[in-house]
Amino acid sequence: MERSNVINLAAGPSQLPLAVLEQAAAGILNYEGTGIGLVELSHRSKEFSQLTTSLEQEIRTFLDVPPTHVILFTQGGGCGQFSSVVYNLLARHHLLYPDLRPEERVMDYVITGSWSKKAAEEARKLGGGVVNIVADGREHSPTGKAFSSVPPHESWKISPAPAFVYYCENETVDGVQFSPDPQSPSSFPFHLLPQPTGSTAPVPLVADYSSSFLSRPIHNLADHALIYAGAQKNVGPAGLTILIVRKDLLVDTEAAAKLGAAPTPTTLSYKVLADAGSLYHTPPMFSMYVALLVVRYFRDRGGLATLEEANKTKQAKVYDAVERGTSSGIFKGKVKKESRSWMNVTFSIEDAELEKRFIADAESKGIKGVKGHRSVGGIRLSLYNAVTEEQIDRVVAFLDEFIANARSR
């Protein structure tokens, strides 16, 4: 099957613009006229140092990142940050409040899906403090077991003075996302965060943006202490993790360890990474190169405002088709309307044989990666930045055709 006939709706790694792939392929053979391929280039070379600087500058401009935050590049994916967050944020807490006992160090987690759940589990495993579940979306679902919405704000129980508050902006597996509308009941309730007093520092807000990074503006970006994202959804190939870190989180983890904090592995320390300009050791060079090409590609086509409008249109078209399937008794939506993800559309087909036919029919038409995550099943259509509106129209046509054929059987 020719590439032009394929629509890749996989949840990640995911589709990238063809022009970017072609440029990256050329760079593998000869990067910027050096006669050396990018994957052969020293990460200490002036050429790669310039690439790192350019990527940082492009992302800063694209998202309007304030000078209070540094942008870092590392490895380990989102799951690696589950541990890094705990090590670095508890180290900071020890430096600020050295006399507290472990049970007085509280880590607040908002659970809206599989990935925030895993992050909280990792925090419990690492210890050094107590995990408080601020809210759990399952408690507000029809079954009490599935994630179908952002928990209502009145159910949130944020600790009075936690070491940090953690949330996942878009849950890739479950298709739950915080609303960009501040007035929505599914928005993130910034007003509930504890306010600093004369004796307390601001509570750090940590967000996993892995599957929505660069898809639309980050609401209240400056109010976040840390935003991280794996690149393999909207930015580039797997292997790169992008961090936006407020400078007060760049703490001396070795000094914190002397005060009783768990020793932070050197390569997980945000300060070590920042002091080395993201080059403490060999970074994911190829992933960073492709990420730079991707950001420039979308910058030259209108930037974040254009992406936001396109993504808003794409998800609306697909959800409208899913609702037509739901009203016909073929599909069943999984997520409440106000909490639906723009990136990952999830639904189920109650008839198991019909679901198998859906996946096979999609594959035959070049629509790939539609099967839901193995932990929840069903169907998942991922609408990342590189999926075009023209491709979405083809997907919608397929959905409508499938619904019509299923009704006639």
Catalytic residues: 115, 208, 233
58 contacts 220 by C-beta, under 8 angstroms: no
**Which residue, among 132, 131, 128, 123, has the nearest Cα to 102 in the 3D structure?**
128
Tokens 């840390």 locate to: 226
- For 50, counting Cβ atoms within 10 Å of its Cβ (0-12 exposed, 13-18 middle, 19+ buried), the class is exposed
User: CA-CA distances (angstroms) from residue 263 to 188, 257, 356?
Assistant: 32, 5, 49
Euclidean distance between CA atoms 376 and 312, whole angstroms: 25
**Which residue, among 159, 161, 164, 87, has the nearest Cα to 122 in the 3D structure?**
87
Tokens 């979306």 locate to: 137
376 contacts 205 by C-beta, under 8 angstroms: no
User: How many other C-beta atoms lie within 10 A of the C-beta of residue 155?
Assistant: 12
Gyration radius of the chain over CA positions: 22
**Which residue, among 144, 186, 196, 225, has the nearest Cα to 342 in the 3D structure?**
186
372 contacts 359 by C-beta, under 8 angstroms: no
**Which residue, among 173, 131, 132, 178, has the nearest Cα to 151 in the 3D structure?**
178
